Amino acid sequence: MMTIFERVNTALAAIAPPTPFAMDTYLGALPDQYLVYSLIVSGPQQHADDVEKERTHRIQVSIYDRAGLVALPDVDTPMLAAGFIFSSQRQLPKDPDTGHYGLVKEYVFLEDL
Structural domain boundaries in the chain: 1-66+97-113
Distance separating alpha carbons of residues 41 and 24, to the nearest angstrom: 14
Closest by CA to 106, choosing from 76, 92, 86, 91, is: 86
78, pLDDT greater than 90: yes
Distance separating alpha carbons of residues 47 and 27, to the nearest angstrom: 39
Torsions phi, psi for 69 (to 5 deg): -115, 25
Q: Which residues contact 40 (CB under 8 A, 6 or more apart)?
A: 58, 59, 60, 106
Mean pLDDT of 18-35: 97
1, pLDDT greater than 90: no
